[in-house]
Amino acid sequence: MSDGERMGTLVRDKAQFFRINQSFWTGEQGQDLTEYALILAFVVLAAAGLFMVSSNSIVTIWSVSNNIVTAAAQQAHSAGS
């Protein structure tokens, strides 16, 4: 391959690179997906934060509910015997 051919190939490769690079920066094809991913990440982080803050309340509600259901089951079992 001569120097002229290599130079022509290099120029074509650079031109193609710049076209691809320009379409990457100006294209909006993946913008919606990126926005949805950022919104989803925000919702997940907010939910995790709320869960961490209210974990004591959730444990209290769970144990009270468990005690009520257990007492109702024992009462139903003793009434059926």
Q: How far apart are CA 34 and CA 30, in angstroms?
A: 6
Euclidean distance between CA atoms 29 and 24, whole angstroms: 9
pLDDT, greater one: 60 or 2: 60
pLDDT tens, 25-73? 666 667 788 899 999 999 999 999 988 888 888 889 999 999 999 999 9
19 is in which domain, residue-wise?
3-80
Query: How many Å is the maximal CA-CA distance in the chain?
Result: 101
Side chain identity, residue 80: G
Long-range contacts of the stretch 30-35 (C-beta < 8 A, 24+): none
Instruction: State pTM to two decimals.
Output: 0.42
Cα–Cα distance, 46 to 43 (Å, whole number): 5
- Looking at residue 17, its pLDDT comes to 74
What pLDDT, on the 0 to 100 scale, is given for residue 43? Answer: 96
How many independent structural domains does the chain possess? Answer: 1
Could you tell me how many helices (H) and strands (E) the chain has, helices first? 3, 0
